[in-house]
A and B are shown apart, each in its own frame.
Chain A
Amino acid sequence: MVPLSWYLGLSALLFTIGAVGVFIKRNVITIFLCIELMLNAVNLSFVSLSGFFGDIGGQLFVFIVMTVAAAEAAVGLAIIISIFRNRESLNVDEVDSLKL
C-alpha cells in the first residue's frame, strides 16, 4: 500500500511549485493558473486524509473548494478581461496605479 506521507509530500511539492509560480511569473493568466495549482494541491491532501481517516468530510470540502474555484475563475477572468481592455497588457508589473 502507498503510505499517507507520499500523498502529503506530493501535495506539498505541487503547492510549492504553485507558490514559486506566483512569485516568478509576470503574466496575470499564468499567475492565476498557479493559484489553481495550489488549490488542487490542497485538494489532494484533503482527499488523502479523508481516505486514511475514513471520514467523508474531507471529500465534501473538496467539493466546496471546487465550487469556490469555479466562482473564482469566473470573477477573476472577468477582472482580467476588463484590465486588458483598459491597459492593453497582461503584465502585472504594468498595473501599478495604486503605487505611490
Chain B
Amino acid sequence: MLAEKILFIVFAVIAVASALNILLQRNPLYSALSLIGTLLSLSALYVSLRAQFIAAVQIVVYAGAIMVLFLFVIMLLNQPKDQPQVEKQKGLKYLAIPLAGLMIGEMFYVLRPIRLSTLPTDQSVGNTWSIGTSLFTDYLLPFEVTSVLILMAVVGAMVLARREGD
C-alpha cells in the first residue's frame, strides 16, 4: 500500500533529521528536545508495526519520564557559558565519519538477503493482552529480575547524588 510507505518515509525522515540535530546543537537542552522528536516518530513507526502497547509505553516512559529526568539535570547543572572549550582529541572527529560509513555499509550488507519480506496480517501479536499473557507466564523471571534492577538503580542514584555529610 502506498499510504503506509509514505507514512514510513515521513516519520523516518523526521527521526533521522532530529537525530542529526542532536549532533549539530551545541546546547544539550536542544539536543534533548530533538531526541524527544526522534522518540515520538519511532513511536509512530511502532504503531505502523502493530505494536500499539510498545508505542504507548515509548511515549509515557521514554518521552515522558526519562527525558524529563534528563531535562531536570541539564537545567540543574546549567553550565556557565564563558567556559573555555577544551578539545584534546581533535583526531577522533575526523576518524568518526569513515568509521560510521564502514559500519552502515556492513549493516546494509547484512540486510541484503531480507529485502522483500512484508508484515504478516496476524493482528493478535502486539496488543496488551498478548504482551501481558507472555510477560506473566513465559517471561516471568526476567520481569521479576527487572524489579530488583530498578530497586538497585533507585538506591544507587540516591547514594551517588547525595551531598557529603548529609
Contact = CB atoms under 8 A, between A and B. Distances in A.
A48 B49 contact: yes
A79 to B, nearest CB: 6
B156 A2 contact: no
A80 B139 CA distance: 33
A63 B79 CA distance: 34
Contact of B131 (A60, A75, A84): A60
Closest 7 pairs (CB-CB, A-B): A71-B153, A12-B107, A23-B96, A78-B160, A1-B118, A78-B161, A51-B49
Contacts of A3: 115-118
Contacts of A17: 16, 19-20, 22-23, 100
Interface string B128-153: 00110011000100110010011011
Given A16-B103, A54-B125, A40 B38 contact: yes
Interface string A60-95: 101110111111111101111110110001110110
Interface residues of A, number: 72
B85 to A, nearest CB: 8
Nearest to B13: A10
Interface size range of chain B in the complex: 35 or more
Contacts of B115: 3, 5
A2 B160 contact: no
Contacts of A37: 19, 22, 35, 38
Contacts of A84: 77
A2 B8 contact: yes
A37 B21 CA distance: 12
A68 B87 CA distance: 32
Q: Which of A14, A40, A55 has the most CB of B within 10 A?
A: A40
A64 B109 CA distance: 29
19 contacts: A8-B107, A9-B108, A10-B12, A12-B103, A13-B104, A14-B16, A16-B100, A17-B22, A20-B96, A23-B99, A29-B73, A33-B35, A54-B120, A63-B57, A68-B146, A71-B153, A75-B156, A78-B158, A89-B79
A62 B8 contact: no
